[in-house]
Chains A and B, each alone.
Chain A
């Protein structure tokens, strides 16, 4: 069976500090991978998605970046965090088909920037 891991679960960082969130998927090959952010009481905002190693599409211009160094590893980074980066960060995966896109979510990372 497939599982998706995210860490850390919670993070408190000062403004201007760097960020690295990691997501790994087990039990599937060549998944589509996604990073979302969810502000308090809001919907999901797609930040990045990837259809393969080294292939990253950015949906929203910001001070965040993403990388996919391995098939089942997806990393979200920032060089300098802003207060507005606070939120609930979710990694998700889906099977690499184009006609059905059920996404499976990791447990999330709650980031507070102070």
Chain B
């Protein structure tokens, strides 16, 4: 079967660093996406990993280990506007996206 696991909710402090984990078991793997979704809005693209290692983009970084079926999204210098849900999605053997339930991140001052 196909399974993507993310924590349901996390809380962090403004200015701090937070790591959101995603583990997966899917029928094939052709890449992993992270999306950000603010409440009541559509998801927006953050990052894409297809090879092992770390991809850095400003305050956000995404890491992938294909052998472990594991990824994380690292957010640095947290700002209040980072309060949102973060969705992990796997592109499977049919090149379709399989979505995790998302992690709601709450930032406190």
Please report A residues at the B interface, Cβ cutoff 8 Å: 41-46, 49, 88, 90, 98-108, 110
Contact = CB atoms under 8 A, between A and B. Distances in A.
A21 to B, nearest CB: 14
B45 A102 contact: yes
Contacts of A43: 87, 99-102
Contacts of B99: 43-46
Chain B: number of interface residues, binned into ranges: 20 to 34
B58 to A, nearest CB: 18
Contacts of A107: 41-42
B82 to A, nearest CB: 19
Given A46-B97, A49-B96, A101-B95, 13 more contacts: A41-B104, A43-B100, A43-B102, A44-B87, A44-B89, A45-B99, A90-B42, A98-B95, A99-B30, A100-B91, A103-B45, A107-B41, A108-B42
Nearest to B50: A100
Interface string B40-61: 1111110010000000000000
23 contacts: A43-B99, A43-B101, A43-B102, A44-B43, A44-B89, A44-B99, A46-B96, A88-B40, A90-B42, A100-B31, A100-B91, A101-B30, A101-B31, A101-B91, A101-B97, A102-B33, A102-B45, A102-B48, A103-B45, A104-B45, A105-B43, A106-B42, A107-B42
